[in-house]
Chains A and B, each alone.
Chain A
Amino acid sequence: MTTNPADGLAVQAPESQPSARELAASPRTYRHWLHAGMSRGSLIVAWIALIGLFTAIEPRVFFTGGTFGVIFGSQQALVFLAMAALCAFTVGEFDLSIASTLGLAGVLVPVLAVEHHVNVAAANVIAVAACLLVGAVNAVVIVGLGIDPIVTTLGMATLLSGLTLEISGSTQVSGLAARAAVIANTEVLGLPVTFYYGIAIAIAFWYVLRFTALGRHMMFVGANRAVARLAGVRVTRIRVGAYLCSALLAGLGGTILVDGLGGFDPSTPPAYLLPALAAAFLGTAVIEPGRFNPLGTLIAIYFLVTGIVGLQLLGYTGWISDVFYGAALITALIFSSVARQRLRRR
């Protein structure tokens, strides 16, 4: 080919470049790490401060095993739902139908098992399959037809809550056989096994995002679809997958919730949506600031629940959780946008 003198400067540069590791760290000073550490850990510090505050006010009521049992043992559905929300957010999509999808699974299991005498395991499987169908419809409308995701999933949420009322006859459905509770209520180290399901899902999700090509592709689809497409990423497949995965997680959350409780109140699902979104956004302030990340979301959930439980123990009930979650969501958005601006300015 060419006898090109420029060839000497080959692009396949020396493997022996010793500077690789230094490069990643070189401009980072002590102050940078201090700063990064503070922004990465700020929510954890806030969480500890919150625990300290409640302990100081109500030492005998708050700082007990019972309280922590409530905090860590009661929010599995929220963990599943927040991970579902995260699934969509990571790839730049929105899924507001997750809470209603959870509700669908929640009524389908007892209605099938109790009223139609379907085997409990089969009822669980059918419920999750129905949720996957919901995800598929979302994907077809949003990805296939290119309709706005917020409006579509909001419509889907409303549609599902109506459907849920009809299926349940607008009343609480209960009477689920006790053996269904085995997969949900078995205690491991003093906490129900579902707590560990939530942890496992968050860790698995974190691993996928942090250490796999799929996760990297998901982040690029979320950050810039054109770039992802030009790099050969199958954008459509990933977006569809995100809606399916989101619906699947919401469905699983619904089934473990109802299996644990033995019954379900069809009017409750909407109350799950805001905490899940708040946790997903608040999670962007920790671990990997400025990014949706599962471990941050997990921490955010338990931070939020600690706040609610503490306030309830102080005697505030009912209205306080809405006020707290709403305020937390707004605060979380402010924090995460500030964190992102800081990152950009560096």
Chain B
Amino acid sequence: MAAIAELPIAPAATPLRPPPFGQPSFARTLADHGLEPLRADGIEVFQINVGKLCNQTCSHCHVDAGPHRTERMTRGTAEACIRALERTSAPIVDITGGAPELNENFRYLVDASRGLDRHVIDRCNLTVLLLRSQRDLAGFLAEREVEVIASLPYFLAERTDAQRGEGVFDQSIEALQLLNRLGYGQGGRLRLNLVYNPTGAFLPGDQDALEREFKRELDRRYDVRFDRLYAITNLPISRFLDFLLASGNYERYMDRLVNAFNPAAAEAVMCRNTLSVGWDGRLYDCDFNQMLDDTVGFGAPNHITDFSEARLGRRRIVTGVHCYGCTAGAGSSCGGTTA
């Protein structure tokens, strides 16, 4: 399909980490503000990353996802996730990828989680809804009242396609209109939220102001409606780090993040209430640590088969330089700003 960008990106054998840049370590900055060690405060969001397969190849993707990726969650691991979920009170199951819907166990995870009366989020790239093999997907999500959190970096084609691939914007609008027809994004039970992330080496502006702008423009131009817009900072890992280094923006971008460190955002950072499960069942503090292969540490069980809410719910968080991305300004998380 046209959404598949033709970017010559090979899967990275070793995750690329942000190089030193002459600023204090994240742990040191936390300590300076009396926030070290950072600890989890329960598990509210049970996030499952089912793998790296995607029908798009976005230039900023922190997962390095694409059609060529073969890492996929098996049925056995998916069932282990549900067994763990049965033993938690985590109210939210957040399913991500890649394009999570392309995993053969996605619908099982949705149904089993809903069966446990959990709120389910699908992190959707929108174009997947138009694939021939996924024609019934939008209806499936609506019937189960799955919240859709969809990526749309801008309300015009040029900037969206520059990040997500040629033709993605038009297909995204078509998919949003399909979701609207099913009742999504109208302020009711079918929640449709958009994710905005900057299309370059700059930080997101005020989330509420951007939301107003997106609502006005998407309604006026395309008759599209949605509920909330989440402004997310691009973290300096994976493909976005490649871009920062190649474009000469790395040090300036890191300076912006460090200088904008906000202790209130650090206290509310998403890893404190999230557990991230990888496609192979390994456990992480967040989806970004997952891409760096940094499993949960400090003695916490690091595989879903060893899940223990008591031990994971108060675990010490593994941090790194990339964490400055979640603590800059108004903060950033999978659910937008935090402070």
Partners in one complex: no
